[in-house]
Amino acid sequence: MFRRLLAVRVVGQFQDGVIQSALASFVLFSPESQDSPAQVVAAFAVLLLPYSLIGPFMGVFLDRWRRRQVLLVANLARAAMVAGLILITVAGAPTLLLGLVVLFVLGTNRLILTALAASIPNTVHPNRLISANAVAPVSGTIAAAVGAALSLSLGAALGATTATTAILLGVAAAGLVLTALLSLRLPVELLGPHGERPVNETVAEVLRQLRHGGYTLWRAKQAWWSFWGVMAHRMAYGVALLLAIVASKSVLSPDDNAGALGLFGLAIAGAGAGAFLGAVVTPPIVRRWAPGWWSATTVILAAVVATPGLLSLTAVGFIAGAALLGFAGQSVKIDTDTVVALSVTDDIRGRVFSLLDVGINVSLLSGIAVAGFLVPATGESASLSWFTGGLLVLSAGMFLLSGTRHDARGPNVGSTPRESRLP
């Protein structure tokens, strides 16, 4: 059943890569685009902030709704919304309308990814959870990277035109329908939540349940510090992402949108390659090391490479930095997902994973905002480059606080089954 769940993730995230890259090419790298760093920040805020506000509430409902049905209905809804995006781009509708539809598309996507993460423990034995948490996210990341690379390559070759964008979005809409059909191969009851759970919740009850999810995370200290380690890494990634966008357009390929798009695509490909490597090496290492030690090691490596890479203002430096940030990001996400999955029970897992997902969004946006309002138009900023390295060092400290013992399980030891220990 894990393979069937994995198929839903891989096919769906391939479409994510196509959609996001097609829209990024159209909005940020089209010939008529003259975005300032502040405007780029505003664009990312529109994409990330709304789900960050409603995401915790959706986590409560993921512990109430059948997650298989969430995968089915949400993917069909996304297909319909992407079809609407085609009409909007072809008709040249106002940017505000485009942004609103994109909000719903990406918000629904985050709901799907949270449901997938919360479902994995119901498809594998606890002893295989680390491997499953490595295979699933990296398979999705690779699929998204391949989709993004194909989309960016076509955009660079044909130009970020309305027609190119419409074709790519059409392919993605069809792919999302296929994703929904693949979810039907999973039994309705398999992914949880298990047992009868009411869906008619008052706002007060939703808030109470959300608070309970946050309290559960706080009590599981290993998961708590891992949570904050991931947040610090994602903020550093946000700073680096904004610097890469600005420098690609202003320094590395001035007055050449196609060239800037190609360079940015190479950096994204580097991040994807690093994520793949992280997924391959993390499971066997974590079976011998504590997750906190390994996560701290990977973010320190990222700091050592990414900081001078950003300072260099060269394509090679940016790609190398992106690769190490991707490597660290995938490694710490695998470790943290596993720690969280073993720290909380299934009836509250959706809320905790939703809080993690929202925290990642907010941290990424915070990094983008800090860089966007401080970086000069040229993209040259030594202080922000060093700030990125400092955040990664802070992240390493958080992971060390999460526990240095191989079998550390936090304060919930008494309520955690023996077989659920980290293998």
Structure confidence at residue 422 (pLDDT): 34
Structure confidence at residue 38 (pLDDT): 67
DSSP 178-235: HHHHHHTTS-TTTTS--S-------HHHHHHHHHHHHHHHHHSHHHHHHHHHHHHHHH
Residue 159: other Cβ atoms inside 10 A: 17
Mean pLDDT by 10 residues, the chain (423 residues): 94 90 65 57 67 65 83 95 90 71 78 86 84 82 83 73 85 95 93 64 65 81 90 93 80 61 75 86 83 92 93 87 92 87 77 81 88 80 92 94 56 34 34
- Whole-angstrom distance, CA of residue 342 vs CA of residue 326: 24
Total-model pTM: 0.69
First-to-last C-alpha distance (Å) of the chain? 21
Residue showing tokens 């109470």:
208
User: Which of the 8 DSSP states describes residue 408?
Assistant: -
User: Which of the 8 DSSP states describes residue 413?
Assistant: G
DSSP 16-77: HHHHHHHHHHHHHSSTT----HHHHHHHHHHHHHHHHHHHHHHHHHHTTS-HHHHHHHHHHH
- Whole-angstrom distance, CA of residue 84 vs CA of residue 102: 10
Architecture of domain 2-192+203-420: Up-down Bundle (1.20)
- Whole-angstrom distance, CA of residue 249 vs CA of residue 376: 12
Structure confidence at residue 268 (pLDDT): 76
Tell me the Ramachandran region of residue 255: left when phi exceeds 0, alpha when psi lies from -120 to 50, beta otherwise.
Answer: left
User: Which of the 8 DSSP states describes residue 288?
Assistant: T
Tell me the Ramachandran region of residue 202: left when phi exceeds 0, alpha when psi lies from -120 to 50, beta otherwise.
Answer: beta
Q: Where are the domains of the chain?
A: 2-192+203-420
Structure confidence at residue 128 (pLDDT): 83
Amino acid making up residue 41: V
- Token couple for 204: 């007060």
CB 37 within 8 A of CB 246: yes
Structure confidence at residue 264 (pLDDT): 73
Contacts of 50 (CB under 8 A, 6+ apart): 103, 107
- Whole-angstrom distance, CA of residue 328 vs CA of residue 332: 6
Residue 292: other Cβ atoms inside 10 A: 28
